[in-house]
C-alpha cells in the first residue's frame, strides 16, 4: 500500500506534488470523478521534474491535464 505525502497543492487546478513515503518516489496526483466519488490518481515523476514543477506552475498544470486525459498512464502508481 502506497503512502502519499502531498507537499504542494494547487486547489485551483486540482493537482498536487509530493513524495511517496515508503519509496521516496516523487509524484503528481490529480483528482478524477469515478461515478459519484472523487478519487486521487498518482503518477510518478523524476526528481528533476519534481523540482521544475514546483517552480513552474504552468508546467504542473499541463502535466495534470495530460494525466486526467489518460495520456500519462505509463507513469501511474500500481
Show me where the domains of the chain are located: 4-71
**Which of these, 49, 16, 20, 19, lies nearest to 31 by C-alpha position?**
16
Task: State yes or no: pLDDT of 13 exceeds 90.
Answer: no
> Residue 58: left (phi > 0), alpha (psi -120 to 50), or beta?
alpha
In the prediction, which pLDDT does 27 show?
98
Answer whether 31's CB lies under 8 Å from 9's CB. no
Total-model pTM: 0.91
Confidence of residue 77 (pLDDT cuts 50, 70, 90): very high
In the prediction, which pLDDT does 59 show?
96
Task: State yes or no: pLDDT of 67 exceeds 90.
Answer: yes
Task: State yes or no: pLDDT of 14 exceeds 90.
Answer: no
Q: Which residue has the higher pLDDT, 33 or 73?
A: 73
Amino acid at each position: 500500500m502506497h503512502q502519499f505525502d502531498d507537499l504542494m497543492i494547487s486547489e485551483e487546478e486540482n493537482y498536487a506534488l509530493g513524495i511517496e513515503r515508503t519509496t521516496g518516489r516523487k509524484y503528481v496526483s490529480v483528482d478524477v470523478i469515478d461515478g459519484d466519488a472523487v478519487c486521487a490518481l498518482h503518477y510518478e515523476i523524476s526528481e528533476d521534474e519534481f523540482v521544475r514543477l514546483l517552480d513552474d506552475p504552468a508546467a504542473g498544470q499541463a502535466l495534470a491535464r495530460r494525466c486526467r486525459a489518460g495520456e500519462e498512464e505509463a507513469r501511474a502508481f500500481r
